[in-house]
Structure 1
Amino acid sequence: MASAPGSGRSFPYVSFLRVYEPLDAFSDAQQLAILEQRTRERHVTEDLDRVDALRRITRLVSDPFPHHEPDLVRVLHYPRSNGTTAPYYCPNQLAVRTSLAAESLEQTIRGPLMDVLLPEVAREAQQARLDPETLSESTAKLHTRSATWGVPFSWFVLIHEDDLTDVVDDDGEVHTVRVAVTISECIDRARRAVASLAIAAPELDLLEDLTELTEWLELFRRDAVVELDYGPVADLVFPDESPMDVRMGIECLAEADMTGAAAAYRRLASRWIPIRQLARAS
């Protein structure tokens, strides 16, 4: 189905894997914040997120952290078995996610460049703004994962081509594609893939990624909904057969069909390696 597009593009390409839960899965304080935002259109939320990100990275003083802005909440209306839809909610948890991203960056970049990108005074101010108890709870249960320059192959295990799909486009340009499915189905799919790979190809990085992904999904209630949001990279790959290729590759490995597994990987590689190479393009 199609939705009204948001404005602008993110660059580099960023994709998201989100978990949405019912209102009563959240604390009283979180519920109040959610209720204030539950009627907002999804494209408006995405625009607000983009504008805020641009404002943070273009400050006169280098400081990409959010300050005291209210956290955004995304709303997903997912079909019930009786033909109606129910609302599910995903808090952005931006303060915690940016803090974790900064910690990850510190592991890869050191010295003067780190001080330019993330000055120590900005990092200290960010820590002072965070409530230790809230930080601990949010870190243990992050609702959003992100990936740049493509979609991790492990994410494709969670979705099938017949899952609920929302194509957000305008004048032939695909702004994003969002695929939603119940978390219980995602966990079942991931567990089956883990069981197959553990026997057929225990050395694959995909097995480790899927095991960790399954553990993350198991943190949430079984009535939650998972959404894969391709982001603007969807315009380069949609319609995308990656979920089927990953599934067929795993099935071929389980059946010791190396030819079939290699063919599935070649299809994936031809689709995604050129996109990932953009990360190193000048």
Structure 2
Amino acid sequence: MAGAPEATVWRTFPYVSYLRVYEPLDAFDDAQQLRILDQRSRARHETEVLERSDAVRRLVRPVSDPFPHTSGDLVRVLHHPRPDGSTTRLYCPNQLAVRTSLAAESLGETVNGPLVDVLLPEVAREAHAARIDPDSFADSLAKLHTRSATWGVPFGWFILIHEDDATDVVEDDGRVLTVRMSAPIPQCIDRARHAAAALALAAPELDLLDELTDLVTWLEVFSPDAVLELDYGPVAELVYPDDSPSDVRLGIESLADGDMTGAAAAYRRLAGRWIPIRQLARAS
């Protein structure tokens, strides 16, 4: 159950979902471990409030500059359940400087004309680049712990997660703020490889096959003791309880079995659930 401060800040953001990798402490270097130890006792909802409050402050600056100006980095803590009933504490660094750089690059590729300079002034981009340590940037880029998606969850992400995985429903006053599902990395990789093998034979033309290949490549760089978390974000309020993980899996199984009727039915369920949400991105 989330507290009121988290719910208030959550409402200020659009539908963004996240795929995060959490690793054990010994997977990080000494400097990262010190940052983690400083933050390991902070509750998850407090981290969410800190991140969103900081984002709001960056967006409302008098001069347009959405880039972070401090070197500090937030760390999320995941208490993942073990078979014996205990939990394992794992960590996901926010890597905000690198992720904002990638977001700015993506925006520059999708938005043309002077609007880019309005949203991301050249002086702000140059100042951000000057603040980044090249070695640290390269290391974070090679091992990026967080992926994000706006206006819906990519179908490929649902292949990594099953409906019976560990699930945390975050609510406030009867409203679902987000749903977080998590599973061990080796299990997620096996699921993606199995689905990719089925698609390679039954439907090699689907973009989903390339997406799965990319996800496996990304996940393989992390510790085998790591855990993957799918965080629906605010879109959970519109879809939860959500059958998407089973619908994606059933659709692929139907394709592999040559059952086009079953595959079409699974896709219709997914489309009926997610297309209206993605259309909100173009709503005025």
Bin for the TM-score computed over the shorter chain: over 0.9
1:198 aligns with 2:200: yes
2:75 to 73, 76, 82: 73
| Residue number in structure 2 paired with 1:182 | 184
Q: Retained in 1: the 8 A contact 2:199–2:256?
A: yes
CA deviations over 1:9-55 (Å, ceiling 9, x no partner): 24320000000000000000000000000000000000000000000
| Partner SS state of residue 90, structure 1 | strand
CA deviations over 1:66-120 (Å, ceiling 9, x no partner): 0115100000001223321110000000000000111111111232111100000
| Residue number in structure 1 paired with 2:248 | 246
Deviation at 1:57, TM superposition (A): 0.6
1:45 aligns with 2:47: yes
- Within a 5 Å distance, the mapping from 1:226-245 to structure 2 comes to 226-245=228-247
| Residue number in structure 2 paired with 1:104 | 106
> Equivalents in 1 of 2:223, 2:23: separation in Å?
7
TM-score w.r.t. length of structure 2: 0.97
Distance 1:4 1:161, change over 3 A: farther
CA deviations over 1:100-154 (Å, ceiling 9, x no partner): 1111111112321111000000000000000000000101110000000000000
Q: Retained in 1: the 8 A contact 2:2–2:172?
A: no
> Equivalents in 2 of 1:152, 1:97: separation in Å?
18
Q: Retained in 1: the 8 A contact 2:14–2:234?
A: no
> Equivalents in 2 of 1:233, 1:72: separation in Å?
23
* Residue identity opposite 2:183 in structure 1: V
1:138 to 137, 140, 143: 140
Runs of 4+ more than 6 Å apart = none
Gaps in structure 1 of 5+ consecutive residues: none
> Equivalents in 2 of 1:260, 1:67: separation in Å?
51
| Residue number in structure 2 paired with 1:122 | 124
> Equivalents in 2 of 1:12, 1:279: separation in Å?
9
> Equivalents in 2 of 1:206, 1:247: separation in Å?
12
Q: Retained in 2: the 8 A contact 1:10–1:232?
A: no
% identity of equivalent residues:
72
> Equivalents in 2 of 1:10, 1:226: separation in Å?
26
2:257 to 243, 255, 267: 255
Q: Retained in 2: the 8 A contact 1:3–1:167?
A: no
Q: Retained in 2: the 8 A contact 1:158–1:187?
A: yes
| Residue number in structure 2 paired with 1:148 | 150
- Within a 5 Å distance, the mapping from 1:201-216 to structure 2 comes to 201-216=203-218
> Equivalents in 2 of 1:156, 1:236: separation in Å?
17
Q: Retained in 2: the 8 A contact 1:96–1:135?
A: yes
> Equivalents in 2 of 1:185, 1:12: separation in Å?
31
| Partner SS state of residue 87, structure 1 | strand
> Equivalents in 1 of 2:105, 2:32: separation in Å?
26
1:169 to 164, 168, 171: 171
Q: Retained in 2: the 8 A contact 1:159–1:179?
A: yes
Choose 213-222 or 259-268, whichever is displaced more.
213-222
* Residue identity opposite 1:254 in structure 2: A
Aligned length: 281
| Residue number in structure 2 paired with 1:63 | 65
